[in-house]
A and B are shown apart, each in its own frame.
Chain A
């Protein structure tokens, strides 16, 4: 127990939280934008997986991590367009289309990797390039803080910057406000001349961009290879973070960090003498329990407000 506590309060642990939270924060922000526009993006998982795979393969064959990044983002955008076309144009159920895209991504990535490397499990035969890590001068020399804040992957910093940008976009720009209006009440938005379909396309595409960054971080930062189904449910945990974060960028960031902490804890405890299966149960258990607690709390608050309202109206 003593060693467990020591692990938890170390700089390495906090730094690990930031690292493992990155591929949760980014897709969660993406899920948030889509959710606020009224189009749930269930395909976050598939978009991450596709971009993770494309990033590795393109970076290996072009020797440029930036082209890898570009390829990953482009494919995720194509998926967003398919999702949007089927849902917005063909009026298909967005959840089923999202599930289909996830299945497609899982199958197609394994298929392609098998084709190129003859290996079904992972692309470890190909050594991927990675996104650069960044050392921040001055801060890097401060004890503890330096270890935590400096030397992280570029995309980890992007995740935190993105949270601020997403907030600015959603609450301080015309487009962002239109997107939220469309999600709040599409008919009212349409009546004042907002193009509902266009706003949702835009939201899905931004969502894909953020999910793609998360996917790229997984395969070109977190590790340096692609592995089959390597997202292992992160796209869905990200969705949970959106609900727990009360559909607000800052709340979403905090929820994603909590899930990241659960994940980091399971990694750290894995080094101790605890069965790995029990440790790996921590993130999903935390997710389910917090979903339940959040829902109960929300219900209580609603009931309380109602009671107060009734009292004052009498």
Chain B
């Protein structure tokens, strides 16, 4: 053994590395096929429901599946909706990686929108800083608010689903209260804040490309940065490694010397900061002010986005665009064929159910691999 030439050794290593890479590519390909299969099945279920309803099912489904591309302004709506969804999906995926069911994105989003708007309205800021300062303030606020359920879960072992939903309810009421009583200008009979200063508005894509792209705006640049930042955090820092370790086996992570409580709490908080950016986008990009019901339930749509992406930050933009496409398509379907847009929610539920059931497929696959390995021995 001692005399084994170094060359064969490194050759073997290269060979091994290529085998692993091939395996990994095969694994992702299977994932891709399974995910696409899931989507197809869910869409078929949706179609069967539409058929059963019997109101021009073909026209309705055509509107759902091709609607967003049929007009330029719908394309803009799609981009704008996806911008928020991708951020929410990223937020959810961070906690999901640690196997924490953080449903607080909705609350963090509202806190982010509120903080960004208040800073933009009351702090005079030059261009560029007018965007960066409210953005950072909102992220800090989102971080702090999400710290609460994180602390409750990590240190007190309080059920995070209950705590995040209750905190969402508190924030939603607080948001309304502050908006109606302190931010609505006197004499305005619509309950909304004043328009934000132009220095604090994300430039619209419509102005840049001179096309009717609705309210889609340059916040997509922020999204790209956040996607890469979350990817680096999760895949290339020890913190991300610790989160994934906890997700894989919390006890093992603890024995390995990871401060699991601190990491779990921070996973919530960082998710909150990311979701808050979604709120910033709504306040400073889409509406340019605060309005009642600004989140429109977006906070809960992140679950399906994160799950379809298998919590991989680099895939979240793709799944976010996909799911947002369905949402916009659903709206168009409702307007043109009067089939309720809630069919999209039904499709969403089917997707989540099928993906959770796929843990079975993974289980079978690992068992088959193990058996193959044993056979080799």
**Which chain B residues border A275 with CB–CB below 8 Å?**
177, 180-181
| Chain A minimum-CB-distance residue to B160 | A95
A284 touches B345 (CB 8 A): no
B62 proximal to A (CB < 8 A)? no
Is the beta-carbon distance between B344 and A107 smaller than 8 angstroms? Answer: yes
Cβ-defined contact, A239 with B161, below 8 A: yes
Of A92, A99, A233, which is within 8 A of B166 by CB? Answer: A233
Asked if A93 is at the interface (CB within 8 A of a chain B CB), the reply is yes
Q: Which residues of A contact B163 (CB under 8 A)?
A: 288, 291
Q: For the complex, is A285 an interface residue (Cβ under 8 Å from B)?
A: yes
Is B176 engaged at the interface, CB distance under 8 Å to the other chain?
A: yes
User: Which of B156, B161, B173, B343 contacts A277 (CB under 8 A)?
Assistant: B173
Bound Cα distance from A97 to B180, whole angstroms: 38
Decide: A111 and B352 in contact? CB cutoff 8 A.
no
Taking CB atoms, residues of chain B closer than 8 Å to A93 are 356, 359
Q: Are B356 and A100 touching (Cβ within 8 A)? A: yes
In the assembled complex, the Cα of A82 lies from the Cα of B354 at a distance in Å of 12
Residues A291 and B158 in contact, CB atoms below 8 Å apart: yes
Within 8 Å by CB of B169, from A90, A97, A284, A291, lies A284
The answer to whether B53 and A115 have CB atoms under 8 Å apart is: yes
Give A78-134 interface residues, CB cut-off 8 Å to B: 82, 86, 90-93, 95-97, 99-101, 103-104, 106-108, 110-111, 114-115, 120
Query: Nearest Cβ distance between residue B126 and chain A, in whole angstroms?
Result: 35
Q: Does B222 touch A at the CB level, under 8 Å?
A: no
Query: Which of A115, A240, A295 touches B157 (beta carbons < 8 Å)?
Result: A295
Q: Is A281 an interface residue (CB 8 A)?
A: yes
* Chain B nearest Cβ from A196, distance in angstroms: 18
A99 contacts which chain B residues (CB < 8 A)?
101, 303, 352
Q: Which residues of B contact A92 (CB under 8 A)?
A: 353, 356-357, 359-360
Instruction: Tell me the nearest residue of chain B to A238, going by C-beta.
Output: B162
Interface string of B13-50 (1 = CB under 8 A from A): 00000000000000000000000000000000000010
Q: Is there a chain A Cβ closer than 8 Å to B239's Cβ? A: no
Contact flags A149-193 to B (C-beta < 8 A → 1, else 0): 000000000000000000000000000000000000000000000
Kindly list chain B residues whose C-beta atoms are within 8 Å of the C-beta of A236.
Answer: 161-162, 165-166
**B363 at the binding interface (Cβ < 8 Å):** yes
Q: Which residues of B contact A120 (CB under 8 A)?
A: 340
How far in angstroms is the closest Cβ of chain A from B67? 18
Q: Given A104-B346, A110-B340, are A284 and B357 also a contact pair (CB < 8 Å)?
A: no
Mark out the residues of chain B between 321 and 377 whose CB falls within 8 Å of any chain A CB in the assembled complex. Answer: 340, 342-346, 348-350, 352-353, 356-357, 359-360, 363
Which residue, B166, B167, B350, has most C-beta atoms of chain A within 10 A? B166
Residue B170 at the A interface, CB < 8 A?
A: yes
- How far apart sit A99 and B301, CA to CA, in the bound complex (Å)? 11
Q: How far is the CB of A14 from chain B (nearest CB, A)?
A: 25
The complex places the Cα of A107 from the Cα of B346 at a distance, in Å, of: 6
Alpha-carbon distance A237/B352, docked complex (angstroms): 24
Contact A281:B170 (CB < 8 A) given known A96-B307, A103-B345: yes
Determine the residue in chain A with the shortest Cβ distance to B355: A96
**25 A-B residue pairings within 8 Å (CB atoms):** A90-B357, A91-B359, A91-B360, A93-B356, A96-B101, A97-B353, A103-B349, A107-B343, A107-B346, A108-B342, A111-B49, A236-B165, A237-B162, A243-B159, A275-B181, A277-B174, A277-B176, A278-B177, A284-B166, A284-B167, A285-B166, A292-B156, A295-B156, A295-B158, A296-B156
**A residues at B contact (CB < 8 Å):** 42, 82, 86, 90-93, 95-97, 99-101, 103-104, 106-108, 110-111, 114-115, 120, 233, 236-237, 239-240, 243, 275, 277-278, 280-281, 283-285, 287-288, 291-292, 295-296, 299
Among all A-B residue pairs, the 6 with the closest Cβ atoms: A107-B345, A295-B156, A104-B349, A92-B356, A277-B177, A100-B352
